[in-house]
Amino acid sequence: MVSPSRSHTIAAQRKSTRSQNDASSSSCDGAVEQLQALMGNGKTPGYVKLLVELLLETRAEIKVAYDRNAALVELQALMKENSLLKQKLADVMKSSQSSVPTPAVEVGHS
């Protein structure tokens, strides 16, 4: 069962942004390849090579952190949705118990 609030969660939003990120990622990958080719030509000073390697390493670490953050944001949204659904269920259960008439106990007169 899909709840109405589920369609507005982060997972639905991530699908649209993921395609945009893939497009920019492919253009960045091309730039990275060009940079690596430039570094391998033998004319680049050692300190520049080190700097580029550190930047590429930092880029990879940032991507991992971004992916982890996105997963945590999605988890947080799902946990919030779960809490809301539990609250709604508790409210429904409470109202259904109060709407069921309790049978009156008759005291027998003998």
pLDDT digits (tens, 9 = 90+) for 19-67: 556 656 677 788 888 888 877 888 889 899 999 999 999 999 999 999 9
User: So what's the pLDDT on residue 34?
Assistant: 83
Model's pTM, two decimal places?
Answer: 0.55
Residues 6+ apart with CB under 8 A from 49: 39
The pLDDT value given to residue 100: 62
Burial of 19 (C-beta count, 10 Å sphere; 0-12/13-18/19+) = exposed
Q: What pLDDT is attached to residue 36?
A: 80
Q: 13: phi > 0 → left, psi -120 to 50 → alpha, else beta; which?
A: alpha
Helix (H, G, I), strand (E, B) or coil at 83: helix
Would you say 11 and 81 are in contact if contact means Cβ atoms under 8 Å apart?
no
Rounded to whole angstroms, the Cα distance separating 4 from 70 reads 22
